[in-house]
Amino acid sequence: MSGIEALADHKRRRIEELIARTADAGGVSLVRDAGRRLLRNPTAIVGGTIIVLFLIVAIFAPLVAPHDPVQRFPELIKDLTVDTIPGATAGHPLGSDPLGRDFASRMIFGARQTLFVGVLATLIGLLLGVLLGAVAGAVGGWIDVLIMRFTDVMLALPSLLLAITLVALASRSTQWTVIIAVAVVNVPIFARLLRGSMLAQRGSDHVLAARALGVKPRNIVLRHMLPNSLTAVIVQATLTFAVAILDAAALSFLGLGDPDINRAEWGLMLGVDGVRYFEVRPELAYFPALAIIVVALGFTLLGEAIREALDPKNRR
Amino acid sequence: MVRVISRRLIQLVATVLALMTLVFFWLRSLPGGPVDALLGERATPQTRELLTRALGYDQPIWVQYGRFLKNVVTGNFGNSIRTGEPVTAVIGRAFPATVELAVAAIIIAIGLGIPLGYLAARHRGRLLDNATIIVTLIGISIPIFFLGYLLKDWLTQGIHVFPPSGRISTGLDNTDVTGLFVLDGLLTREFDASADALWHLVLPAFTLATIPLAIIIRITRASVLDVLDEDYIRTADAKGLRNATIRKRHVLRNALLPVVTTIGLQTGALLAGAVLTEKVYNWGGLGTLITDSISGGRDYPVLQALILLAAVVFIVVNLVVDLSYAIIDPRVRVQ
């Protein structure tokens, strides 16, 4: 084979490769393209796996857990003293909690309550934030200014401090106080995110095209601008979940958490019993803390992987 | 520049005013109002009426609001319900402790964060980089009060390296000048007190620094990576500049802008972290004050003033950060 032929071969291969690559991405939507990149990203796979396992445990908790999480067992209670909490025994793989309940079952049911608190806090914050942001971005004018000033005021306090303030200002604490306090903290973040994204789209070609075609303003907002802004919101929501369960744990630690002693939620278990009995049996803190770290890590990893996948800079 | 500062100061006043108004009306919208919150549910009608009148809650809401605003402006926040002392005195006593802790934490976070983030970026994809990423991810996922207990358990119980709690050993007769114990020791030449206070500071400061440190490392790394990709770095390299010059003049200088923004935002967050850290180490600063004001029967006058203080600190720090752009980025100066 002569040198020239080899060169031609090489060029042809390059061109074919180029065609294959552009053809591959050409007709693919950003979302599908991002989805494909996500499946190849180890970070996303690790994060996703953690979340799926967490969801399975949370959903099937009654099937997975060996016991009822609120039942107090006589065989565990009899060994409870001021400075001993029984460890693993037959039938109780992680031993007892300070009230003689099965710790392993409480950990498993804890996934459920933690999911509940995290999801609700994130969703409420997201919905309120998206609503405010969409109104600000779509309507503009003095309403926009008003909403943005309002978010400024909320952002003037660090998030956990705002949550502490909200719970402290409520006359007494319940599970809902915690959820709402953690949710409200995220409202300004979602609102600003959505508004920014809507403003960016207001001047974009697809909105201009829709307006030129005579699409009603309401439909432009609902059908064209909002769906295109949602990707950023989804990424933020994934990251918010991690912060929400950490904030809930912090509130429990400060004595502002859910007062229900039967509730098995990781933040509560860590912040109340885990810390109080740290010298006696540190496992009471280690296990919920580990669970919180792993789950928070899972959501952070997935959130960042999605953000990376959606970044047009990484598109090929 | 003057215009920027004055506009931001007006914004500061407006934000603080709005915040105080929200707190004021929230407190009065509670079922039973502040009086019930103070007295609890078992109070007799007589005591309730007495307190209502004493606190001026029997007057129209607008009169109350006007008086409240006047008090805020004149710096009169009333007396603490728990101790009866003026709120300003209570806060003034706790303030230096938190300043000392927060300054130490931010020094750790910046001092370690920027070099580590820079090194991670330079060694992209290699062991150091990956290790740094994993550690920082855990850093932002760990409940910091738990980390505090862990450090305390390992380094004060198992091996006695650090004192478990407090700001200074009891019995050390240190002179109080500024309330910042480390600085006081240096000023009065009581170096033993200074060293002792510093020793007490290590664990709490590291605990509090965890989250800002992790975030500063990540932002620095991402920012340096962005800058390394820029054409002007290639140009600088191509025209034969020494590596050290490129790093200092071109890479670091351009990469620092987002880092500085982050530092500003994190300084505010330190106040929130201090609430948790101070409880773990029994520190006795503003964080402890917040916790005590809440659990010890909701000390609203103190809480109100603390919220105001937190917001002012946060806004002022971020104003300073914005101004520092002018030093780092010549483009801002021109505008």
Sign for the pseudo-dihedral over CA of A258, A264, A270, A272 = positive
Nearest to B256 by CA among B181, B311, B332: B332
Contact B208, B144 (CB under 8 A): yes
What is the total residue count of chain A? 316
Among A8-12, A164-168, B105-109, B223-227, the minimum mean pLDDT is found in A8-12
Contact B257, B328 (CB under 8 A): yes
Sign for the pseudo-dihedral over CA of A192, B215, B14, A185 = positive
Q: How many angstroms separate the CA of residue A70 from the nearest CA in chain B?
A: 24
What is the chain B residue with the closest CA to A284? B146
CB distance B273–A249 less than 8 Å?
no
Query: d(Cα B102, Cα B123) in Å, to the nearest integer?
Result: 31
Q: Which two tokens stand for residue A161?
A: 């401090």
Amino acid at A290: L
Query: d(Cα B115, Cα B137) in Å, to the nearest integer?
Result: 17
CB distance A168–B138 less than 8 Å?
no
3-class DSSP state for residue A101? strand
b vs e for A139-153, b when ≥16 Cβ sit within 10 Å of the residue's Cβ?
A: eeeeebeebbebbbb
Q: Which residues pair with B86 in a beta bridge?
A: B79
Q: Does A311 touch chain B (CB under 8 A)?
A: no
Query: What's the confidence (pLDDT) of residue B116?
Result: 94
Query: d(Cα B184, Cα B174) in Å, to the nearest integer?
Result: 8
Query: d(Cα B45, Cα A16) in Å, to the nearest integer?
Result: 89
Q: Does B310 touch chain A (CB under 8 A)?
A: yes
Q: Does B16 touch chain A (CB under 8 A)?
A: yes
Query: What's the confidence (pLDDT) of residue A171?
Result: 64
DSSP letter assigned to residue B175: -
Q: Which residues pair with A160 in a beta bridge?
A: none
Contact B200, B190 (CB under 8 A): no
Q: Which chain B residues are closer than 8 Å to A170 by Cβ?
A: 30
Q: Does B332 touch chain A (CB under 8 A)?
A: no
Contact B35, B57 (CB under 8 A): yes
Q: Does B22 touch chain A (CB under 8 A)?
A: yes
CB distance A164–B23 less than 8 Å?
no
CB distance A254–B291 less than 8 Å?
yes
Q: Report how many Cβ contacts below 8 Å link chain A to chain B.
A: 120
Determine the residue among B129, B134, B141 to mutate to test chain A binding: the one whose Cβ has the most chain A Cβ atoms within 10 Å. Answer: B141
Query: d(Cα B92, Cα B100) in Å, to the nearest integer?
Result: 13
Q: Which chain B residues are closer than 8 Å to A292 by Cβ?
A: 141, 143
Query: What's the confidence (pLDDT) of residue B157?
Result: 74
Does domain A41-314 sit in CATH 1.10.3720.10?
yes
pLDDT tier for residue A148 given thresholds of 50, 70 and 90: confident
Q: Which chain A residues are closer than 8 Å to B271 by Cβ?
A: 158, 161
Q: Choose the closest CB to A153 out of B15, B37, B137.
A: B15
Q: How far is CA A159 from CA A44, A63, A181, A189, A246, in A?
A: 27, 37, 10, 10, 12
Q: Choose the closest CB to A169 out of B27, B137, B141.
A: B27
Q: Choose the closest CB to A156 out of B19, B138, B269.
A: B19
Nearest to B261 by CA among B212, B226, B225: B212
Query: What's the confidence (pLDDT) of residue B209?
Result: 95
Phi/psi for A92 (5° steps) reads -130, 85
DSSP per position, B61-93: HHHHHHHHHHHHHTT---B-TTT-SBHHHHHHH
Q: Choose the closest CB to A249 out of B18, B143, B307.
A: B143
Q: Does B43 touch chain A (CB under 8 A)?
A: no
Among A68-72, A141-145, A278-282, B166-170, the minimum mean pLDDT is found in B166-170
Query: d(Cα A80, Cα A70) in Å, to the nearest integer?
Result: 16
What is the chain A residue with the closest CA to B312? A156
ipTM: 0.84
Contact B207, B147 (CB under 8 A): yes
Query: d(Cα B106, Cα B102) in Å, to the nearest integer?
Result: 6
CB distance B314–A157 less than 8 Å?
yes
Query: What's the confidence (pLDDT) of residue A26?
Result: 42
User: Directed axis angle between helix A283-310 and helix B144-152, to 10°?
Assistant: 140
Q: How many angstroms separate the CA of residue B260 from the nearest CA in chain A?
A: 17
Q: Does A178 touch chain B (CB under 8 A)?
A: no
Q: Choose the closest CB to A168 out of B18, B279, B294.
A: B294
Phi/psi for A28 (5° steps) reads -95, 135
pLDDT value at A22 more than 70? no
Sign for the pseudo-dihedral over CA of B254, B118, A240, B310 = negative
Highest mean pLDDT among A32-36, A312-316, B116-120, B269-273: B116-120
In chain B, positions 83-122, which contact chain A (CB-CB < 8 Å)? none
CB distance A278–B275 less than 8 Å?
no
Q: Choose the closest CB to B149 out of A275, A294, A301.
A: A275
pLDDT tier for residue A5 given thresholds of 50, 70 and 90: low
Query: d(Cα A267, Cα A269) in Å, to the nearest integer?
Result: 6
User: Directed axis angle between helix A175-202 and helix A159-169, to 10°?
Assistant: 130
CB distance B269–A158 less than 8 Å?
yes
HEC secondary structure over A102-146: EHHHHHHHHHHHHHHHHHHHHHHHHHHHHHHHHHHHHHCHHHHHH
Q: Does B146 touch chain A (CB under 8 A)?
A: yes
Determine the residue among A145, A161, A167, A294 to mutate to test chain B binding: the one whose Cβ has the most chain B Cβ atoms within 10 Å. Answer: A161
Sign for the pseudo-dihedral over CA of B225, B226, B227, B231 = positive
User: Cα(first)–Cα(last) distance of chain B, in Å?
Assistant: 9
3-class DSSP state for residue B178? coil
From first to last of its 335 residues, chain B has per-residue pLDDT tens of: 677 778 778 877 888 888 888 877 776 666 555 666 666 666 677 877 787 777 777 778 788 888 888 888 887 888 887 788 888 899 988 999 999 999 999 999 999 999 999 999 989 888 999 999 989 999 999 999 999 999 988 887 767 777 877 777 776 667 777 777 777 777 777 777 788 888 888 899 999 999 999 999 999 999 999 888 888 888 988 998 888 888 888 888 888 888 888 888 788 778 889 999 999 998 888 988 988 888 766 777 888 888 888 888 888 887 888 778 777 777 766 65
Q: Which residues pair with A265 in a beta bridge?
A: none
The model's pTM: 0.84
Determine the residue among A146, A148, A152, A171 to mutate to test chain B binding: the one whose Cβ has the most chain B Cβ atoms within 10 Å. Answer: A171
CA angle A117, A118, A124 (to 5 degrees): 85
Query: What's the confidence (pLDDT) of residue A125?
Result: 94
Amino acid at B132: T
In chain A, positions 130-169, which contact chain B (CB-CB < 8 Å)? 149-150, 152-153, 156-161, 164-165, 168-169
User: Directed axis angle between helix A205-212 and helix A175-202, to 10°?
Assistant: 80
Q: How far is CA A54 from CA A110, A163, A175, A229, in A?
A: 10, 26, 21, 28
Q: Does A285 touch chain B (CB under 8 A)?
A: yes
Q: How many angstroms separate the CA of residue A168 from the nearest CA in chain B?
A: 6
In chain B, positions 152-181, which contact chain A (CB-CB < 8 Å)? 153
Nearest to B283 by CA among B174, B208, B194: B208
pLDDT value at A55 more than 90? yes
Q: Which residues pair with A96 in a beta bridge?
A: A102
Query: d(Cα A55, Cα A49) in Å, to the nearest integer?
Result: 10
pLDDT tier for residue A24 given thresholds of 50, 70 and 90: very low
CB distance A246–B141 less than 8 Å?
yes
CB distance A256–B294 less than 8 Å?
yes
B88 CB-contact burial (10 Å; exposed 0-12 / middle 13-18 / buried 19+) = middle
In chain B, positions 245-304, which contact chain A (CB-CB < 8 Å)? 268-273, 275-276, 279, 290-291, 293-295, 298, 303
Q: What is the CA radius of gyration of chain A?
A: 25
User: What is the four-CA torsion angle of A77, A78, A84, A86, rounded to 10 degrees?
Assistant: -70
Q: Stretch A98-126: mean pLDDT, rounded? A: 91
Query: What's the confidence (pLDDT) of residue A25?
Result: 43
CB distance B141–A267 less than 8 Å?
no
Q: Which chain A residues are closer than 8 Å to B275 by Cβ?
A: 160-161, 164, 254
**Residue where the block lists tokens 């923004």:** B261
Contact A190, A133 (CB under 8 A): yes
Q: Which two tokens stand for residue B89?
A: 């005195």
